[in-house]
Amino acid sequence: MIADGSQYHWLTAYTRGRMSGHQLDWAKQPAFFKDYQNVPSFTLPRPENLPQDSLFELVKKDFSTSKNANSSPNLDSVSYNLSLSDLASLFILTSAPTAKSTFSQGEIWYRSNASAGALHPLEFYVSFPGDADLPPGLYHYDLLKPALNRISRNPSSTVFNTAFDRSISATSADLKKDNLAPVLLISAIFFRTAWKYRERAYRYLLLDCGHALENMVLALRSMQIDFEIVLDFSDSCVNQSLNFDDQHEVCLAALRLRPFAADNSRKFPDELPAAETDVISGIPHADNFVAYPLLNEIHQATSVPLLNGSAENKHSVPLSRKFSDWHDIPCDPATTTIFLSYVESLSRRRSRRNFTANASSLKVETLYLLLNLLLQKNLSISGPQPEIAFCATGIEGLNDGLYLLDCSRRCFALLDSDTSPSALAAAALDQRWLAQAALQFIFFADLESAAEKYGPRSYRYLNLAAGRLGQRLYLGVTALNLGCCAVGAFYDRELAARCSLPENYDPLYLVALGPVAGK
């Protein structure tokens, strides 16, 4: 059995010359959408008054809190009440269909949240206490209609609060007091991604969940709704409450909103008949499902509570060196660039990899804008974070080379002047288009040391964070009318060596960006 993420990462690493061939079996292609039949469905209204801020303005705002937050939010600027219209805005800003491609074997739906291979393994749920337009219950987001399907008349808020607060002493009175807080949940269906990526799929599931989680966080910020990100919870309790078969579908992340203010317009009973609280199951999984036991093993291994991070790392090899040339990152770089709005960036986000070396070079101010996206607000959550490096080519005002980003000091330093984009492209399964990208961001971590300090659940935190930061880059690049394409497939140790990483560090994600042809 797998003990932690470091072991899983090693077992699923790609090595040049040792990869087995794999062709997609279209007869076993999993369904793109989960279907709940014969349940009450509430159509989501068309959102109005969507935010006009740019992404760069939005990430500077912070309405979120966490259990270990250093400061309290400005409660005078925070909204508590949610309506059906608010939920429509929230879910559509989180994940909405943006295009569809049809071909001989089937079809692919594209969405505003990035997904490896456009497979989109995620589903979304909300535990809602009820208001004048939407009765209390547990709902599944049907993004095609779009609508909320009520799968239980019981919001199960107390159950979720118990699952979220397993590491602290919570009294019944405390849980009852918070039981009006809406809860948002993101789940992943294993086989949707494993159909293509097999045993390596858990990496992509976490990255994809990070993409969607970041969209949801940005949506809540744009709506000035205070929230708490919950990544450490009782997996069995949450999955049972959602009536999941955890061999197929599991919850990976949740957000708990602040309790509603008093609302006299509520028309629904606070107590529900016990017989009517059972959660309805979705359509059973198809007979063509293929099990990959390694995915269940790593999920089970990372289901233990996160440690507080006080343990001393005995085997950690420091990454930092005595660099001689540090570049400070200005908080507000001067630029005349006209940005797309945050909402426009969502609707236009695509994976574009037709990079061109013939386009005018990027200015260093553009790099500063993107680096600020990665530095803002430390993801509003405590826990392990990935390290970040980037390879720059043809940036006006910056020498070519591989740079290490120091997030805490808001600066970066040259790591290796000889690292070239073509070398990174070769390590990324020889995907030559990567060599044309002006910037290549690499997210990496010391997985073994993280497990020692925070426990096995640290593997989820690190990959979810890498996905969130990757989504920020996707949206920021789209706002700047550039192209972006993320890569989770690479020769692991070869990429680490090309990035001059010590043996104890593993790459998690690579995101390439720059000018593209056809603009």
Which range among 161-165, 225-229, 482-486 has the greatest average pLDDT?
Answer: 482-486
- pLDDT on residue 165: 74
pLDDT mean over 477-506: 95
Residue 274 has pLDDT above 70, yes or no: no
At residue 10, φ and ψ (nearest 5 deg) are: -70, -40
Reported as a single tens digit per residue, the pLDDT across 345-393 is: 999 999 999 998 765 678 999 999 999 999 876 567 788 999 999 999 9
Into which CATH architecture does domain 326-514 fall? 3-Layer(aba) Sandwich (3.40)
Please give the pLDDT value at position 107: 75
Per-residue pLDDT tens digits for 396-436: 989 999 999 998 889 999 999 999 999 999 999 999 999 99
Over residues 153-182, the mean pLDDT reads 65
Q: What is the pLDDT of residue 176?
A: 45
* Confidence at 332, pLDDT banded by 50, 70, 90: confident
Q: Are 415 and 402 in contact, with CB atoms under 8 Å apart?
A: yes
Burial readout 13-31 (b: 16 or more C-beta within 10 A, e: otherwise): bbeeeeeeeeeeeeeebbe
- pLDDT > 70? residue 266: no
Q: How many Cβ atoms sit within 10 Å of the Cβ of residue 144?
A: 11
With a cut of 60, say whether residue 142 has pLDDT above it.
Answer: yes
Selection from 513, 459, 464 nearest residue 7 by Cα: 459
Residue 81 pLDDT class (50, 70, 90 cuts): low
Of 378, 377, 363, which is closest to residue 333 (Cα–Cα)? 363
pLDDT of residue 463: 98
Confidence of residue 319 (pLDDT cuts 50, 70, 90): low
**Which residue type occupies 425?**
A
Q: How far apart are CA 58 and CA 217, in angstroms?
A: 11
pLDDT value of position 210: 97
Taking CA atoms, 184 is separated from 126, 244, 349, 496, in Å, by: 5, 16, 23, 36
pLDDT of residue 378: 59
**Does pLDDT of 326 surpass 90?**
no
Task: Please give the C-alpha separations between residue 268 and each of 129, 150, 259, in angstroms, as whole numbers.
Answer: 9, 15, 17
More confident residue, 308 or 461: 461
Task: Supply the mean pLDDT for the chain.
Answer: 85
Q: What percent of the chain has pLDDT over 90?
A: 60
Domain at 28-301, CATH class: alpha beta
What is the token pair recorded at 4?
Answer: 């932690």
Taking the C-alpha atoms of residue 10 and residue 496, their distance in angstroms, rounded to an integer, is 13
The set of residues, in sequence order, having a beta carbon less than 8 Å from that of 431 and lying 6+ positions away, is: 425, 487
Of residues 107 and 329, which shows the higher confidence score?
329
Would you state the pLDDT for residue 474? 97
- The reported pLDDT for the residue numbered 75 is 41
Q: Measured at the alpha carbon of residue 83, what is the angle toward residues 79 and 86, in degrees to the nearest 5?
A: 70
pLDDT of residue 272: 36
**pLDDT higher than threshold 60 for residue 252:** yes
Check whether 299 has a pLDDT greater than 90. yes
pTM for the model = 0.91
CA 269 to chain centre: 36
Does the structure show a pLDDT above 60 at 58?
yes
Selected residue with higher pLDDT from 286 and 175 = 286
Confidence of residue 339 (pLDDT cuts 50, 70, 90): confident
Per-residue pLDDT tens over the stretch 88-127: 999 999 999 888 888 777 777 889 999 999 999 999 999 9
CA distance 277 to 280: 9
pLDDT of 47 over the 70 cut: yes
Q: What is the pLDDT of residue 169?
A: 38
263 confidence band (pLDDT: 50, 70, 90): very low
Of 177, 178, 129, which is closest to residue 155 (Cα–Cα)? 129
Reply yes or no: is the peptide bond before residue 146 cis, omega within 30 of 0: yes
pLDDT at 100 (0 to 100)? 84
User: Residues spanned by CATH 3.40.109.10 within the chain?
Assistant: 28-301, 326-514
